[in-house]
């Protein structure tokens, strides 16, 4: 085997190992950021939680800010994929928005650590240009354009959805969430009533929108490889 072939084989083997170690660090940081917040978490705490030497951290990330960006990107990717999955084939923007909101609330029951981190992300995601809002912006734009939503602006619509969703998730994290939340019922249903009211949906249409079948069975968080 030539020296070049040896290098290529070594790189091929090292790449999966590097990715696994990177994910170990991201998972540890996710748990700590969710519990304490980014600013209150130290790199020392991350490496202790990950069970690695401090030098290993710097092989993958420059500082705490860089790993925080990686954590946020991972959660956005997983949740955007999950929202796209549950909304596949759903054309009504009002239904799409409430299904996404109910998915987020269901995470309190099924994935509490990412849920806590997501709450922190939502609290800072009022910018309509935020990548966190990619799917939401499309649904809101469609709803405004079709007259389904009656709001002063797209920015205002984003604030309504992210603000109410973040407050709802924070409430459920504080008081606890029962199995009905996973089904989009109880408090989750009532929050979606308020959300649609805030978006200016005709009140007479809201009960029908929220009575449509909703299930998270088989929905997968892509990065975790787990099913809701």
51 occurs within a structural domain: yes
Same-domain status, 171 and 76: yes
**End residue of a domain, out of 11, 31, 61:** 61
Task: Print burial letters for 102-124: b (CB count within 10 Å at least 16), e (below 16).
Answer: bbbbbbbbbbebbbbbbbbbbee
pLDDT number for residue 89: 92
Same-domain status, 160 and 205: yes
Q: What gap in Å lies between CA 150 and CA 65, rounded to an integer?
A: 38
Q: Do 100 and 195 meet the contact criterion of CB atoms below 8 Å apart?
A: no
CATH number for the domain spanning 91: value is 1.10.357.10
Same-domain status, 79 and 188: yes
Structural domains of the chain, count:
2
pLDDT number for residue 15: 80
Q: Do 92 and 209 meet the contact criterion of CB atoms below 8 Å apart?
A: yes
Q: What gap in Å lies between CA 210 and CA 212, rounded to an integer?
A: 5
Residue 192's contacts (CB-CB under 8 Å, 6 or more residues apart) are: 98, 101, 102, 184, 210
Same-domain status, 101 and 204: yes
**End residue of a domain, out of 61, 82, 97:** 61
The CA-atom distances, in angstroms, between 188 and each of 11, 33, 196 are 48, 25, 12
Q: Do 149 and 73 meet the contact criterion of CB atoms below 8 Å apart?
A: no
**End residue of a domain, out of 42, 61, 80:** 61
pLDDT bracket for residue 121 (50, 70, 90): low
Q: Do 188 and 105 meet the contact criterion of CB atoms below 8 Å apart?
A: yes
Same-domain status, 132 and 205: yes
* 6-50 pLDDT per residue, tens: 334 434 445 888 889 999 999 899 888 878 878 889 999 999 999
143 occurs within a structural domain: yes
Q: What gap in Å lies between CA 228 and CA 213, rounded to an integer?
A: 17
pLDDT number for residue 3: 46
Same-domain status, 214 and 155: yes
Same-domain status, 28 and 111: no
Same-domain status, 32 and 76: no
Same-domain status, 81 and 32: no
Same-domain status, 78 and 178: yes
Domain that holds residue 55: 1-61
66 occurs within a structural domain: no
Dihedral pair phi/psi, residue 220, rounded to 5°: -115, 135
pLDDT number for residue 35: 80
67 occurs within a structural domain: no
142 occurs within a structural domain: yes
pLDDT number for residue 81: 84
Q: What does the angle CA 228 – CA 83 – CA 176 come to, to the nearest 5 degrees?
A: 50
Encoding tokens for residue 91? 């054309």
Reported as half-sphere exposure (CB side, CA atoms, 13 A), residue 24 has a value of: 16
Q: Do 92 and 227 meet the contact criterion of CB atoms below 8 Å apart?
A: no
The stretches of the chain forming alpha helices (DSSP H) are 3-36, 43-50, 54-58, 64-86, 93-110, 112-123, 134-146, 154-175, 179-182, 187-198, 206-210
Same-domain status, 156 and 105: yes
Same-domain status, 80 and 185: yes
pLDDT bracket for residue 221 (50, 70, 90): low
């Amino acid at each position: 085997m030539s020296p070049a072939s040896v290098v290529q084989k070594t790189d091929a083997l090292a790449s999966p190992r590097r990715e696994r170690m990177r994910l170990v660090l991201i998972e540890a940081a996710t748990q700590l950021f969710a519990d304490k917040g980014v600013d209150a978490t130290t790199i020392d705490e991350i490496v202790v939680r990950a069970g690695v030497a401090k030098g290993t951290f710097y092989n993958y990330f420059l500082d705490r800010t860089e790993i925080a960006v990686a954590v946020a990107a991972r959660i956005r990717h997983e949740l955007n994929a999950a929202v796209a999955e549950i909304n596949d084939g759903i054309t009504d923007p009002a239904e799409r928005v409430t299904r996404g909101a109910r998915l987020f609330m269901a995470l309190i029951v099924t994935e509490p650590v990412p849920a806590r981190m997501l709450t922190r992300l939502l609290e800072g995601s009022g910018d309509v240009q935020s990548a966190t809002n990619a799917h939401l912006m499309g649904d809101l734009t469609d709803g405004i354009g079709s007259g389904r939503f009656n709001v002063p602006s797209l920015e205002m619509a984003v604030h309504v959805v992210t603000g109410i969703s973040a407050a709802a998730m924070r409430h459920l994290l504080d008081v606890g969430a029962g199995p009905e939340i996973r089904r989009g019922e109880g408090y989750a249903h009532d929050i979606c009533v308020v959300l649609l009211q805030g978006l200016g949906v005709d009140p007479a249409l809201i009960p029908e929108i929220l009575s449509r079948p909703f299930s998270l069975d088989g929905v997968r968080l892509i990065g975790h490889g787990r099913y809701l």
